[in-house]
């Protein structure tokens, strides 16, 4: 190898392709086994077993209206001029049962949700019948099954409710509760610690001294973790000193996953990578072909998975979305590890300077033609306000150097699930 080529190699180590990096990351993700949680704690967790409806919903035929329950055959030929007259033989409210049959020529008063008495097959709305002297008058024929909610019409016994690997969401709770699932088998969540490194960092409730900034990454990463149903352990901040960082790492070592922000770049105070390497971390990759987010470090140390994230706040978020979120979703047993991506029309052109996968903070909007997306006016890995104005990232592939208005682009919505 020529001296010149050696030189190039030293100053510009290979950037791992994003898709390759994702493969490496996902290969390290293994589920942690099941546990049972109460239904109310199950939201956001991932089912470890298929859930089958053990009983039907509704559990019995019942009335969808307040009215009179009748035998529909009795009402054939009923008209305004010649109403059918049925004898009222009882009343049944929700939660009760009628202890007798409704025979030919009879009707019973019934309330919404009350079980259909034996013999009856339909309900006439209160407003459509007339009651006088113990007699119910019906003025038009009633079709069998009218205003009846059939047993199992919501879900029949034996049907699949949710399959293993699906995340339990708010919309599932009612059904699961209705079917009596007081507890559910879910995958154990990994324990995850968050550590922010940097001598410039102060806590968000502290005043700024010269040269200092607030630690926003710690809070944002913790919130992103909570959104995945993981309760993070926030270790706060560590200044860029070997002993301080080492001490925090000892604390972090009890967790399954360690997220460290800052200190993984090439600066002389970027100690995290060096410390971890000295402590015996197995590095699977360092630096990915992505912008922002290039300095990402990934590996294992003492059996724990470590993500070393760039300190720039937007880089940090992008790395979370592209790598950490799919990793954790897979660890949590979720079948679909990717956050839903959509396609949208660009409203303006985009130029890239390097052949890296690039993510742009952007505003995704609904317009006449469908979805449109506009990059925020400012782009930069440290632009917190650009992120605040965004509801999505535009993802531009490595090879694409320019995009024009009305081109269709891939969009990663925030913080959709």
Binding site for ligand AMP (CB under 6 A): 196, 198, 200-201, 213, 215-218, 261-263, 265, 267, 270, 310-313, 382
Q: Is 24 helix (H, G, I), strand (E, B) or coil?
A: helix
CB of 294 to ligand AMP, least distance (A): 10
Determine the Cα–Cα distance for residues 272 and 249; give it in Å rounded to an integer: 10
Helix (H) or strand (E) holding 328: helix 325-331
Determine the Cα–Cα distance for residues 308 and 276; give it in Å rounded to an integer: 10
CB of 217 to ligand AMP, least distance (A): 3
CB of 232 to ligand AMP, least distance (A): 14
Four-CA torsion 19, 24, 29, 30, nearest 10 degrees: 120
CB nearer to ligand AMP: pick between 294 and 357 = 294
312 binds, among ligand AMP, Mg ion, none (CB under 5 to 8 A by kind): ligand AMP
Contact between 198 and Mg ion per CB under 5 A: yes
CB of 160 to ligand AMP, least distance (A): 44
Contact between 262 and Mg ion per CB under 5 A: yes
- For tokens 């293994």, name the residue: 30
Burial (0-12, 13-18, 19+ Cβ within 10 Å), 113: middle
310 binds, among ligand AMP, Mg ion, none (CB under 5 to 8 A by kind): ligand AMP
* Region from 13-21, 29-37, 308-316, 361-369 binding Mg ion, contact rule CB under 5 A: 308-316
CB of 217 to Mg ion, least distance (A): 11
Parallel, antiparallel, or unpaired: how do β-strands 129-132 and 122-125 relate?
unpaired
CB nearer to ligand AMP: pick between 312 and 325 = 312
What beta strand segments (E) does 144-301 contain?
A: 148-149, 160-162, 183-187, 192-197, 201-202, 213-214, 233-238, 257-261, 282-286, 290-291, 297-301
Helix (H) or strand (E) holding 170: helix 170-178
CB of 199 to ligand AMP, least distance (A): 9
CB nearer to ligand AMP: pick between 161 and 309 = 309
Determine the Cα–Cα distance for residues 184 and 178; give it in Å rounded to an integer: 14
Contact between 218 and Mg ion per CB under 5 A: no
CB nearer to ligand AMP: pick between 67 and 313 = 313
Q: Which of residues 65-124 bind Mg ion (CB under 5 A)?
A: none
Q: Rule CB under 5 A: which residues touch Mg ion?
A: 198, 262-263, 311
């Amino acid at each position: 190898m020529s001296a010149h080529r050696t030189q190039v190699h030293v100053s510009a180590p290979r950037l791992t392709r994003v898709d390759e990096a994702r493969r490496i990351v996902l290969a390290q993700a293994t589920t942690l086994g099941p546990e049972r949680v109460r239904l109310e704690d199950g939201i956001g967790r991932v089912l470890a077993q298929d859930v089958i409806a053990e009983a039907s919903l509704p559990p019995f035929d019942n009335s969808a209206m307040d009215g009179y329950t009748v035998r529909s055959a009795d009402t054939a030929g009923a008209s305004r001029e010649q109403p059918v007259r049925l004898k009222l033989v009882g009343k049944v409210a929700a939660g009760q049962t009628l202890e007798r049959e409704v025979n030919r020529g009879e009707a019973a008063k019934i309330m919404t949700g009350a079980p259909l008495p034996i013999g009856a097959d339909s309900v006439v709305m209160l407003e459509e019948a007339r009651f006088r002297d113990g007699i119910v008058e019906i003025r038009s024929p009633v079709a069998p099954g009218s205003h009846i909610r059939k047993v199992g019409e919501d879900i029949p016994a034996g049907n699949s409710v949710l399959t293993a690997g699906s995340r339990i969401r708010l919309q599932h709770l009612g059904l699961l509760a209705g079917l009596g699932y007081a507890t559910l088998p879910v995958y154990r969540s990994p324990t995850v610690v968050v550590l922010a490194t940097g001598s410039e960092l102060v806590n968000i409730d502290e005043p700024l001294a010269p040269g200092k900034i607030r630690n926003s990454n710690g809070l944002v990463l913790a919130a992103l973790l909570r959104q995945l149903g993981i309760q993070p352990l926030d270790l706060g901040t560590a200044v860029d000193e070997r002993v301080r960082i080492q001490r925090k790492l000892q604390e972090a070592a009890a967790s399954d996953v360690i997220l460290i922000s800052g200190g993984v770049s090439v600066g002389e105070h970027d100690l995290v990578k060096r410390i971890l390497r000295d402590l015996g971390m197995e590095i699977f990759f360092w630096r990915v072909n992505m912008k922002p987010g290039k300095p990402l470090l990934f590996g294992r140390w003492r059996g724990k998975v470590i993500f070393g994230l760039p300190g720039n706040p937007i880089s940090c978020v992008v790395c979370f979305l592209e790598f950490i979120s799919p990793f954790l979703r897979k660890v949590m047993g979720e079948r679909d590890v990717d956050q839903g991506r959509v396609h949208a029309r660009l409203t303006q052109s985009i130029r890239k300077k390097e052949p890296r996968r690039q993510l742009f903070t952007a505003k995704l909007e609904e317009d006449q033609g469908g979805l449109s997306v506009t990059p925020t006016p400012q782009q930069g890995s440290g632009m917190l306000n650009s992120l605040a104005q965004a509801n999505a990232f535009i993802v531009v592939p490595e090879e694409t150097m320019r995009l024009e208005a009305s081109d269709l682009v891939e969009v990663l919505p925030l913080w959709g699930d």
